[in-house]
Amino acid sequence: MGSIFDEPEGEGLNSAQRRHLLTTCQYADKLLSEIEAVLVASKSKSPFPKFRPDLSPAQVKMVEDYVARMRAQLTRILDGQGVRIPEAKIGSAHSIRVTLGFVDIAFDECRAKNMEGYGTVPPETVPELNGLVDEMNGLVARLDAYLAQGESADIGERLKRLEAGGSDIRVLKTIERIVARYGLVEFRPALATIIDRLEIDNFEIAVFGRVSSGKSSLLNHIAGQDVLPVGVNPITAVPTRLVYGDSPSGTVWFADRKPQQFAVERLAEFVTEQRNPGNMQHVTRIVVALPSSNLRQGIVYVDTPGLGSLATSGAAETKAYLPRCDLGVVLIDAGSTLTQDDLGTIQTLYDAGIPASVLLSKADLLEPADRERVARYIAEHISSDLGLQLPVHLVSVKTGYTDLLDKWVEEQILPLYDRHGELTRQSLSRKIGALRVGVQAAMRAHLRRAEHAEKDSNAYRQMETELRRASGEIAQARTECIEVTDLLHSRAAALISRAAQAVAQSPESAVSQTPLGSLLKTKLESLVADESRVIAEKIKSAADYAETVLVKAADSLGMENGPDQNELTAVLQDMPRVDLENLKLKITRSPLAALGSGWAARSFEKQARSQAGREIGDAILTHARIVQSWVRKTFTELQERFDSYADAYRAQLDRLTKTSSPAGETEEILKQDLADLEGIAGQITEGLSRRIETDGVPAYGRMVRG
């Protein structure tokens, strides 16, 4: 780019003098910026004001004019001396994100364990203090994620582009205007998701299910080739989209580098836990294009991470993706049974207004006479537990049984291609309707704030404290559970000794036909399970308390979106168990056993140590690591479920306890905005019809609340 110091004509300042002049002007401009900061700070609503607002509006205007005049003069001085003003090298977004990192660190130093240096923290204050930190860290993380999206996160500009393209977005513009005016940031993610769908204009069919339920095999059959990796170990660390393309190709997006094209044969490098453990490559999105007759333009199949997976990022990715699809296909393994994960997935789809199709996979494992009975049993359980009337379709990808899957695709899925526009419109209508209702509730809270007496305000403050304490209890339980797993692997020797004593005292050990090696392994597995049970108890206790606080807050605030019974405790599923099946132990009865159980126990322990002491230690160490991974995943999911409700409640509490109108708006303006929201209800369907071609076909599926 060359030097910023242009050579002057004739005599003039040398380079050192011009550098000094530039530095002086830069310093002066910095001081002028500080003057501007004083003007801004004096008008700030910060709870920690630095300056008194003792300037009149006329004085403020005069100061601003003089600052502008001085800056203009600085520019002319430098230009006259041949000094070019250097361009800024640091982006605003980058600087803000770095600063947010320091904010995050600053609050982390306020955790109870980090404040012990200032004195003992009262035990009853620890949960609230930790909850405060988690609350602020969550807000920082969401703002950082928003900035990471760059210009693509500008909802206003995206709406303008849609409108310029002929879309009727009056409803979304009204919602966006009100969300922006009143700072209702909790609704921005849902609004952005809706705009994503309008921009892409695809109909997404997402396949959900537990690990090894057959999701990838089903999609491979539909695609006509084995493109998705299949295995019994947790796979698919991030959702993978299958779309139609003229030739096979794949594209992967990363959080920290540019997108990359790849051959479809390399897909396993990005989506399997073996090749991409814990999503270490920071993959954010994967699209695979295939020239398959079963893949049509505008229809996208999504293979999601398996629920119940030990992959800490996988289940979280699935939970985050759930509200984005247009049709959810839930696979239930015929070789297993209906689980809380399956029911939770169906419930989440319903709550998001998304139709669901339930498939009983691996139907070849069932006798023909049992298939309809099992399908009917699952449908009845879904009806009784969730109040949803959903048919259950039997499918299989095994040779000789694929006609079941082909029949489902032909009768249930292929018709969707012809109804794509109508289904997309209905999906978006549901999502926009739910968003409008949420924003309405927030606006009503703004109007209600002046109606509450001081005692109500005190009750709301207490409610906010309880929400904070619940979050802190989750954080405290997480720390304690991880400490338990850290200690577990060091207890191998003690567990072998206790297992040997249990065998020696067991009546079974006196029966000559009982294999003592198998008996000792069983006792050892039971003891390890007992050690791990304290973890489950801590998780349940934290989840129960958090759920109680959420239900109480929802009732007090009159919020319709409260948690269902046991919704938070449902995260406590499938805790890993130690498996010593492959351990070879040949324990014999010592003649000394006749002297008492103590002698027998020492003999059994000595034999176990000599034959497999190291293997047992390694197995318990591996188990401890697996349990710790499960603990981290479970608490991440628990915190996400809690925050999904608590954030909305906190925002509502903030609105109800404010003493002034938001952004200085009058009550009349608030009422007018609320009326605008209520008035657009009938425009949602009409506006989207102009965006998407429809054929008048009724909605897919039937999900009726019982």
From 66, 74, 62, select the one nearest 28 (Cα to Cα): 74
The predicted structure's pLDDT at residue 595: 63
Strand partners, 289: 243, 249
Question: pLDDT confidence of 698, banded at 50, 70, 90?
Answer: very low
Q: Answer whether 649's CB lies under 8 Å from 559's CB.
A: yes
The predicted structure's pLDDT at residue 218: 86
From 234, 411, 208, select the one nearest 302 (Cα to Cα): 208
Lowest mean pLDDT among 187-191, 469-473, 532-536: 187-191
Given a cut of 60, whether residue 232 has pLDDT beyond it is no
What does the alpha-carbon distance between residue 518 and residue 586 come to, in Å, rounded to a whole number? 8
Q: Answer whether 695's CB lies under 8 Å from 421's CB.
A: yes
Alpha helices, H only, 506-566: 516-557
What does the alpha-carbon distance between residue 402 and residue 396 come to, in Å, rounded to a whole number? 6
236 or 229, which is more confident: 229
Q: Which two tokens stand for residue 148?
A: 């990471």
For the chain, what is the mean pLDDT? 77
Q: Kindly provide the b/e burial profile for residues 692-704, where b requires at least 16 CB atoms within 10 angstroms of the residue's own CB.
A: bebeeeeebeebe
Q: Answer whether 266's CB lies under 8 Å from 311's CB.
A: no
Question: pLDDT confidence of 545, banded at 50, 70, 90?
Answer: very high
Lowest mean pLDDT among 65-69, 341-345, 463-467: 341-345
SS (H, E, C) 299-316: EEEEECCCECCCCHHHHH
Question: pLDDT confidence of 229, banded at 50, 70, 90?
Answer: confident
- The secondary structure of the chain in percent helix, strand, coil, rounded to multiples of 5, reads 65, 10, 30
Q: Could you give the C-alpha distances from 677 to 173, 177, 191, 563, in angstroms and in order?
A: 11, 11, 15, 26
DSSP conformational letter for 621: H
Q: What is the largest CA-CA distance in the chain?
A: 113
Q: Which two tokens stand for residue 256?
A: 């920290």
Highest mean pLDDT, choosing among 244-253, 314-323, 419-428, 561-570: 244-253
The predicted structure's pLDDT at residue 263: 92
Contacts of 344 (CB under 8 A, 6+ apart): 567, 570
* Pairing of the two strands 203-209 and 299-303: parallel
Q: Containing H/E element for 581?
A: none
Burial class (CB in 10 A: 0-12, 13-18, 19+), 115: middle
The predicted structure's pLDDT at residue 249: 92
What does the alpha-carbon distance between residue 298 and residue 277 come to, in Å, rounded to a whole number? 32
Alpha helices, H only, 272-367: 312-321, 340-351
Residue ranges per structural domain of the chain: 15-80, 201-418, 458-659
- pLDDT tens digits, 282-322: 787 889 999 887 777 677 888 877 654 433 333 444 444 55
Lowest mean pLDDT among 150-154, 167-171, 208-212, 485-489: 150-154
Angle at CA of residue 656, ends 651 and 662, nearest 5°: 80
Number of neighbouring beta carbons within 10 Å of residue 486: 11
- pLDDT tens digits, 3-57: 555 555 556 778 888 888 888 888 988 999 889 888 887 777 777 878 888 888 8
Q: What percentage of the chain has pLDDT greater than the value 70?
A: 80
What does the alpha-carbon distance between residue 587 and residue 568 come to, in Å, rounded to a whole number? 45
Sheet bearing 356-361, strands edge to edge = 260-262, 249-254, 283-290, 240-244, 299-303, 203-209, 327-333, 356-361, 392-394
Q: What is the mean pLDDT of residues 132-153?
A: 74
Given a cut of 60, whether residue 685 has pLDDT beyond it is no
- pLDDT tens digits, 335-349: 777 877 788 788 877
What does the alpha-carbon distance between residue 292 and residue 452 come to, in Å, rounded to a whole number? 62
Q: Work out the angle between the directed axes of helices 516-557 and 454-488 (0-180°, nearest 10).
A: 170
How far is C-alpha 252 from the chain's CA centre?
A: 20
Question: pLDDT confidence of 510, banded at 50, 70, 90?
Answer: low
Q: Kindly provide the b/e burial profile for residues 603-640, where b requires at least 16 CB atoms within 10 angstroms of the residue's own CB.
A: bbbebbbebbbeebbebbeebbebbbbbbbbbbbbbbe
- pLDDT tens digits, 606-642: 877 777 777 877 777 877 888 888 888 888 888 888 8
What does the alpha-carbon distance between residue 607 and residue 497 come to, in Å, rounded to a whole number? 11
Given a cut of 60, whether residue 694 has pLDDT beyond it is no
Taking domain 201-418, whether its CATH number is 1.10.1060.10 is answered by no
What does the alpha-carbon distance between residue 515 and residue 521 come to, in Å, rounded to a whole number? 10
How far is C-alpha 631 from the chain's CA centre?
A: 16
173 or 198, which is more confident: 173
- Token match 């993380």: residue? 141
Q: What percentage of the chain has pLDDT greater than the value 90?
A: 4
Q: Containing H/E element for 356?
A: strand 356-361
How far is C-alpha 610 from the chain's CA centre?
A: 47
What does the alpha-carbon distance between residue 579 and residue 586 come to, in Å, rounded to a whole number? 17
What does the alpha-carbon distance between residue 136 and residue 115 come to, in Å, rounded to a whole number? 17
Question: pLDDT confidence of 705, banded at 50, 70, 90?
Answer: very low
Q: What is the mean pLDDT of residues 187-212?
A: 77
Q: What is the mean pLDDT of residues 397-407?
A: 85
Question: pLDDT confidence of 262, banded at 50, 70, 90?
Answer: very high
Lowest mean pLDDT among 194-208, 250-264, 481-495: 194-208
From 550, 563, 558, 560, select the one nearest 448 (Cα to Cα): 558
Q: Is 514 left (phi over 0), alpha (psi -120 to 50) or beta?
A: beta
Give the three-class secondary structure for 289.
strand
Highest mean pLDDT, choosing among 222-226, 308-312, 317-321, 491-495: 222-226
Question: pLDDT confidence of 165, banded at 50, 70, 90?
Answer: low
Given a cut of 60, whether residue 473 has pLDDT beyond it is yes
Query: What are the two backbone dihedrals, phi and then psi, of residue 30, each rounded to the nearest 5 degrees?
Result: -60, -40
From 686, 697, 684, select the one nearest 174 (Cα to Cα): 684
What does the alpha-carbon distance between residue 516 and residue 497 come to, in Å, rounded to a whole number? 14
What does the alpha-carbon distance between residue 371 and residue 390 come to, in Å, rounded to a whole number? 16
Given a cut of 80, whether residue 140 has pLDDT beyond it is yes
Q: What is the mean pLDDT of residues 590-619?
A: 73
Q: Answer whether 484's CB lies under 8 Å from 628's CB.
A: no
